[in-house]
Amino acid sequence: MQKKIVRRPSVNDEHLPASLHPVIKQIYARRGITNTEQLQLNAKYLLSADDLFGITKACQLLLNAFKQHEKIIIVGDFDADGATSTALMMEGLTLLGFIDHSFIVPNRFEYGYGLTPEIVDVAHQQKAQLIITVDNGISCFSGIERANELGIKVIVTDHHLPSEQLPAAEVIVNPNQPHCAFASKSIAGVGVAFYLMLALRKYFREHNIFADYKIAEPNLGQLLDLVALGTVADVVSLDNNNRILVEQGLKRIRAGKTRPGIQALIEVSGRNQQQLIASDFGFALGPRLNAAGRLDDMSFGINCLLAKELTTARAMAQELDSLNKARREIEQGMQLEAEKIFKQLDFSANKLPSAIALFQQDWHQGVIGIVAGRLKEKYHRPSIIFAPAKDDEQQASAEIKGSARSIAGFHIRDLLAHIDSQYPDLILKFGGHAMAAGLSIKKEKFEQFQQVFIDSAKQWLKPEDLQGKLLSDGALATQDMTIAFAQQLRFAGPWGQNFQEPLFDDEFTVIQQRIVGDKHLKLVVEKENKLFDAIAFNIDRQIWPNQQAKRIKLAYRLDINEFRGNVNLQLMVEEIFLC
């Protein structure tokens, strides 16, 4: 489905510095920058940890655990946010002087998501006296109940949206829980973990722990590379606080102040460490880290992040790269199958449904989220892809797991909550946030869920919501289409979710076109007697190359292509329109 270009309106930008390039000045104003302070992205402007509800009690519990030498086990999640959160908590506690802590990350194929009763039993076998969840826990009622039965204290650190009731943990640190005044509701799980470490350092300082125990007070800024990676990879909204966290992490990485695991991931991804930008986390490092949790065991990815030697980290990063290649192959096959099933469904009046829900018995649970995202992008519909919870379960009563991805303006977790309230026996469990969610149902109820999901989405969505839109910053003057200006744009970010990288649109004359790498369109286009290289990824081979196309309209991003020592300007094409 071709997206529609919508140009952002011009806005007043007089409140921003005159020293800014006029195009960048307008771009910032359009994205809600209201003062110069928001452009500085200094750590001193970070929100205070004191605003997090429950943070003081969490520090009290951790201080007691420190003094009593309690065994602490961190329970993480099997995605990039969970991996970076776990690594951060492990290293943060070490820096603060803790000596008896370890981590468990549930294998998605064996235990499923979060702090389950089974994972609590594993922690109990490992002599856990205190469990800290990272990037999970807010919906883990039964697991926390089991911990309480066993006398294990639980600190929940999470960022996902809670249900009406909260689990009975000792304390919950989550900006989205009731009564929490922390302004950044979109902070990632790794951000919450980082804030807990900041608050604990302050608490230890106030209680003379560093002096009394002869511990050097640590610079927790060294954890910001993990925060930046997890924040971008989890695709949370880049509000001002998250932009500061990401920018500070990027600055450390570019300056060579990063851990061996992240350096190795940068190398294996073919990125330039000194030129690293936020999108590299989302498109290069994050997927390789995620591959461990999707196909194998995320403990491997976490151990890569925790590696102390670059040689060890490089070997682990190479293995993660191999897993990512295998993931891509599985994903591509599943996507083709999903599209085939989708096209065979009976749609009334030949109209696409308002939402997509698909299941196949042999689909891979570790890749369903990516496939849901691909279908969401292609058809601009909220999408859920299901796979068996366990490979060997084929009976109708078996559990299947779904991963959901949503479109802008459509809160997928709220819709699942609505369905659960209307059909209380349909969904076994669910959780998530506005743009992504997960759920479990019985296989025998898939067709009922599919219909309910489509019908509910139709009620919630307006026809205009289902038309994909590309928000453009308009035409870019030819004199600004230079490597120098592209470099300015590159470092004017960090760009990301809800703080979108600048997109431009304009008409060009086609000079050359050819296919590269099977499904990518390489173009040479001309505007005002100046030639530009352009590339469009994953184009429709039934349409392109098109030798009849002489004039085209491109929605594009300005980029710099570095290949074999050569540097040139390149237009990264989001959409092509025939003129």
Residues 540, 493: contact at Cβ < 8 Å?
A: no
Mean pLDDT of 286-290: 96
Question: Per residue in 489-505, is it b (16+ CB within 10 Å) or e — as a string?
Answer: bbebbbbbbebbbbbbb
Provide the residue type at 249 as one letter.
Answer: G
pLDDT at 203: 98
Residue 349 has pLDDT above 60, yes or no: no
Mean pLDDT of all residues in 389-414: 85
Task: Using DSSP bridges, classify how beta strands 551-563 and 566-578 pair: parallel, antiparallel or unpaired.
Answer: antiparallel
What's the average model confidence in pLDDT over 39-51? 96
Over range 508-521, report the average pLDDT: 93
Report pTM: 0.92
Question: CA angle at residue 178 from 172 to 183, to 5 degrees?
Answer: 90
**Cβ contact 399:377 at 8 Å:** no
Residues 448, 366: Cα–Cα separation, whole Å? 24
Q: What is the dihedral of CA 489, 324, 159, 220, to 10 degrees?
A: -70
Residue from 243, 161, 230, 136 nearest 191 by CA: 230
- Residues 337, 281: Cα–Cα separation, whole Å: 29
pLDDT at 247: 98
**18 pLDDT above the threshold of 60:** yes
The mean of the pLDDT values for the chain is 94
Please give the average per-residue pLDDT across 22-50, as a whole number. Answer: 96
Cα separations in angstroms, 442 against 117, 199, 394, 535:
20, 42, 11, 44
Residues 6+ apart with CB under 8 A from 360: 334, 337, 338, 341, 387
- Residue 83 pLDDT: 97
Pairing relationship of beta strands 399-405 and 436-442 according to DSSP bridges? antiparallel
Whether residue 397 has pLDDT greater than 80: no
- Are 58 and 196 contacting, i.e. CB atoms less than 8 angstroms apart? yes
Task: Map residue 286 onto helix, strand or coil.
Answer: helix
392: pLDDT confidence band, cut at 50, 70 and 90?
low
pLDDT in tens, 113-164: 889 999 999 999 999 999 999 999 999 999 999 999 999 999 999 999 898 8
d(CA 322, CA 464): 41
19: number of Cβ within 10 Å: 6
More confident residue, 530 or 562: 530
pLDDT at 312 over 90: yes
Q: What is the dihedral angle through the alpha carbons of 14, 507, 541, 373, rounded to the nearest 10 degrees? A: 10
Give, as one character, the DSSP assignment of residue 19: T
Q: Is the pLDDT of residue 350 over 60?
A: no
The residue to which tokens 């819709």 are assigned: 415
Could you give the C-alpha distances from 259 to 215, 310, 323, in angstroms and in order? 22, 8, 21
Report, in angstroms and rounded to the nearest whole number, the Rg of the chain calculated over CA atoms: 24
Question: Is the pLDDT assigned to residue 575 strictly greater than 80?
Answer: yes
Question: Is the pLDDT assigned to residue 344 strictly greater than 90?
Answer: no
CA 318/CA 314 separation, integer angstroms: 6
Q: What is the 3-state secondary structure (H, E, C) of 92-129?
A: HHHHCCCCCEEEECCCCCCCCCCCCHHHHHHHHHCCCC
pLDDT for res 408: 86
Q: Residue written as tokens 């900006």?
A: 175
Q: Is the pLDDT of residue 348 over 70?
A: no
Predicted local distance difference test score (pLDDT) of residue 106 = 87
Position 112 confidence tier, pLDDT thresholds 50, 70, 90: confident
pLDDT at 329 over 80: yes
pLDDT at 409: 86
* Residue 232 neighbours by CB distance under 10 Å: 31
DSSP 294: H
**Could you give the domains of the chain?**
4-40+470-578 (2.40.50.460), 44-321 (3.90.1640.30), 345-466 (3.10.310.30)
pLDDT at 391: 63
**What pLDDT, in 10s, does the model give residues 451-492?**
999 999 999 998 888 888 999 999 999 999 999 999 999 999
C-alpha separations of 53 from 35, 46, 166, 178 in Å:
28, 17, 14, 9
Among candidate residues 443, 387, 413, the one with its CA nearest the CA of residue 108: 387
Confidence band for 542, pLDDT divided at 50, 70 and 90 = confident
Distant-in-sequence contacts of 207-216, Cβ < 8 A, 24+ apart: 207/63, 209/63, 209/66, 209/97, 210/97, 213/97, 215/96, 215/97
Q: What is the pLDDT of residues 209-264, one digit of tens each?
A: 999 999 999 999 999 999 999 999 998 999 999 999 999 999 999 999 999 999 99
